[in-house]
């Protein structure tokens, strides 16, 4: 099992969710985060004082996926999240040791 | 028949006074929302607490001694004693409106003057030091200069401002510039917020957390100002005064509009962007500019006067920052710089009541009295109990440090 973490542009979230649903992945956790990679921030003005906004709003998606579906999922996320412009984000794949469904107590692949 | 007309006009004038007083009371909500919107979220509860408390302190102190100092005519009467339901005991003329309505209308002006101070000292003042200052400001400092102006008394027995050609209809100087003078004294003795000014003249932005609240606050103040200026006509139950009231409402409104547009355009030209916070300050500046004389300007002059305030306030805010005087909400600029402008505009449309020299003498009298006495109180408080929170508390946020509350709690868990 793998935990796929994707940092994407916030307005791509709906498309990514739909793309994952199309390959059968229904559950995910989404967090609002801020970050930057090589995308530069911008300066804003507040009452005449300049300030630099380095940390840009992004969305972090976390999905637990069985190993067989991972490549499909990576492709789905990439295609849906891509705009071709700088700041599109990154995907990280972690090994997932254990998953438990709290309501039923199911573990492992049954819990995904 | 004559008696019923008198009864009716007494009732109408009283009613009008009370409604206008209620509108000015509503300005307290406006100030609270405006300030809450322009400070950072970690300092929001503190400024709200200051606002509700200062309003209440003003009401009580003015009742205890302030009203008497301002209008008692030299007789010091505490707790409104002698200002009976039928009129001030011993007065020669019968009242044309209920005396309690006069107190009610006046007390909300005191609260307005005091409220101006809270924005300038926000985000680093100790709440209790501020509230103790409020006791002095509302119980003594403001009533004294109010006595020398609206109260008609001689300034420390030396000269009478009305005789010298000083006129301030609703209080650009008496209320607004006075509040700003107290605010300036506080801001200077308190010092700037940590991180606001860097070395080599760098000015850092500390953006407000809730611009919707700030906007709402501005509109609330705008509405309340109809009572502030409108009620200062002091009557409505005659064709003459009703006409005056209508003109005052109309001019007050268009001055605000002129101020907002002028500030918005000025901000766009100087900074390249339409800064909402400057626009909001501009509307208030327009209101302050017209407050010293809202009844005599023509329909066109009013928004132009407001626009002058709107342009001036933007430059004043920038200049104060360059002078490293930290004013988180622009109160000193809106109420002080433009309050002075408001006074100086009066002779242009009302040369009968006011002369430039009279306005300047009045402005200097008010400013120095309030600035110096406030400075003394602030300094005494600084020495005795300290007026600034610790550096650590300032970074943590004074909500947690002074109030034990968060304005926007997200990760709290209750204890059983």
Q: Which residues of B touch A53 (CB under 8 A)?
A: none
Q: Is A105 on the interface with B (CB under 8 A)?
A: no
**From the candidates A48, A50, A51, A55, which should be mutated to test the interface with B, based on the most B CB atoms within 10 A?**
A48
Task: Quote the minimal CA–CA distance from A50 to chain B in Å.
Answer: 6
C-beta of residue B109 within 8 angstroms of C-beta of residue B172:
no
Whole-angstrom CA distances from B379 to B332, B374, B376 are: 19, 8, 5
Residue A85 contacts B, CB cutoff 8 Å: no
Distance CA B79, CA B63 (A): 5
How confident is the model at residue B273, as a pLDDT?
Answer: 85
Torsion angles phi and psi, residue B172, rounded to 5: -55, -40
Please answer whether residues B123 and B40 qualify as being in contact, where contact means their C-beta atoms are separated by less than 8 angstroms: yes
List chain A residues with CB under 8 Å of B204.
49, 51
Count of CB atoms situated within 10 Å of the CB of A98: 8
Q: Which three-class secondary structure state does DSSP give residue A52? A: strand
Q: Residue written as tokens 């120095």?
A: B368
CB contact under 8 A, A48 and B204: no
Largest separation between any pair of C-alpha atoms in chain A? 58
Task: Give phi and psi for B146, each to the nearest 5.
Answer: -70, -35
ipTM, 2 decimals? 0.73
Q: Give CA–CA dist A24/A68, Å, rounded.
A: 12
Helix (H) or strand (E) holding B340: helix B338-349
pLDDT in tens, B146-159: 999 998 889 988 89
Write the CATH number of the domain with boundaries B2-403. 1.10.3430.10
For the segment B371-392, the average pLDDT, to the nearest whole number, is 97
Interface test with B, best of A42, A47, A53 (most B CBs within 10 A): A47
Strands A2-8 and A56-65, sheet pairing = antiparallel
Distances (CA, A) of B68 to B20, B81, B103, B111, B286: 21, 9, 10, 16, 32
Q: Which of B206, B207, B318 sits opposite A48 (nearest CB)?
A: B318
Asked if A49 and B203 come within 8 Å (Cβ–Cβ), the reply is yes
Report the C-alpha gap between A112 and B332 in whole angstroms. Answer: 60
Written as six digits, the tokens of B279 are 């626009």
Q: How far apart are CA B248 and CA B295, in angstroms?
A: 5
- Which pLDDT tens digits describe chain A residue by residue (112 residues)? 999 999 999 999 999 999 999 999 989 999 999 998 887 778 888 888 888 888 889 999 999 999 999 999 999 999 999 999 989 999 999 999 999 999 999 999 999 8
DSSP label at residue A102: T
Listed range (A99-103, B45-49, B137-141, B234-238) with the worst mean pLDDT: B234-238
Q: Among B155-159, B182-186, B345-349, where is mean pLDDT lowest?
A: B155-159
With a CB cutoff of 8 Å and minimum separation 6, the contacts of B160 are B152, B153, B154
b/e sequence B315-344, b meaning 16+ C-beta within 10 Å? ebbbebbeeebbbbbbbbbbbbbbbbbbbb
């Amino acid at each position: 099992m793998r935990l796929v973490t994707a940092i994407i542009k916030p307005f791509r979230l709906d498309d990514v969710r739909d793309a994952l649903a199309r390959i059968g992945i229904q559950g995910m956790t989404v967090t609002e985060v801020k970050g930057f990679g090589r995308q530069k921030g911008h300066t804003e003005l507040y009452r005449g004082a300049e300030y630099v906004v380095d940390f840009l709003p992004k969305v972090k998606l976390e999905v637990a996926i069985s190993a067989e579906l991972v490549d499909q999922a990576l492709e789905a996320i990439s295609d849906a999240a891509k705009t071709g412009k700088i700041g599109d984000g990154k995907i990280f794949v972690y090994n997932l040791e254990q998953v438990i469904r709290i309501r039923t107590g199911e573990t492992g692949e049954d819990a995904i | 028949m004559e008696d019923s007309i008198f009864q009716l006009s007494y009732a109408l004038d009283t009613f009008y006074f009370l409604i206008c007083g209620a509108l000015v009371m509503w300005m307290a909500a406006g100030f609270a929302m405006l300030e809450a919107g322009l400070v950072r979220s970690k300092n929001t509860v503190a400024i709200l607490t200051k606002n509700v408390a200062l309003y209440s302190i003003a009401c009580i102190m003015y009742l205890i001694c302030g009203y008497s100092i301002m209008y008692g005519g030299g007789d010091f009467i505490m707790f409104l004693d002698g200002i009976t339901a039928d009129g001030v005991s011993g007065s020669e003329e019968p009242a044309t409106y209920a005396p309690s309505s006069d107190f009610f209308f006046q007390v909300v002006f005191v609260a307005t003057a005091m409220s101006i101070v809270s924005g300038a000292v926000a985000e680093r003042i100790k709440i209790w030091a501020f509230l103790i200052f409020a006791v002095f400001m509302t119980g003594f400092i403001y009533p004294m200069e109010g006595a020398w102006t609206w109260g008609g008394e001689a300034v420390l027995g030396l000269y009478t401002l009305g005789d010298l050609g000083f006129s301030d209809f609703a209080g650009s100087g008496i209320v607004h510039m006075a509040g700003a003078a107290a605010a300036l004294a506080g801001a200077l003795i308190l010092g700037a917020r940590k991180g606001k000014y860097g070395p080599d003249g760098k000015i850092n932005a500390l953006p407000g957390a809730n611009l919707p609240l700030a906007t709402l606050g501005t509109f609330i103040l705008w509405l309340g100002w109809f009572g502030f200026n409108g009620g200062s006509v002091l009557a409505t139950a005659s064709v003459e005064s009703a006409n005056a009231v209508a003109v005052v409402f109309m001019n007050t409104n268009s001055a605000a509009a002129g101020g907002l547009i002028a500030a918005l355009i000025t901000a766009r030209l100087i900074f390249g962007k339409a800064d909402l916070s400057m626009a909001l300050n501009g509307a208030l500046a327009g209101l302050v500019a017209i407050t010293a004389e809202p009844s005599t300007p023509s329909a066109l002059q009013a928004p132009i006067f407001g626009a002058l305030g709107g342009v001036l306030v933007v430059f004043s805010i920038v200049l104060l920052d360059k002078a490293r005087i930290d004013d988180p909400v622009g109160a000193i600029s809106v109420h002080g710089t433009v309050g002075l402008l408001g006074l100086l505009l009066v002779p242009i449309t009302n040369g009968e009541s006011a002369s430039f020299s009279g306005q300047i003498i009045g402005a200097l009298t008010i400013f120095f009295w309030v600035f110096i006495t406030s400075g003394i109180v602030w300094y005494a408080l600084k020495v005795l109990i300290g007026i600034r929170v610790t550096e650590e508390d300032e970074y943590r946020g004074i909500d947690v440090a002074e109030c034990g509350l968060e304005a926007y709690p997200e990760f709290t868990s209750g204890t059983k």
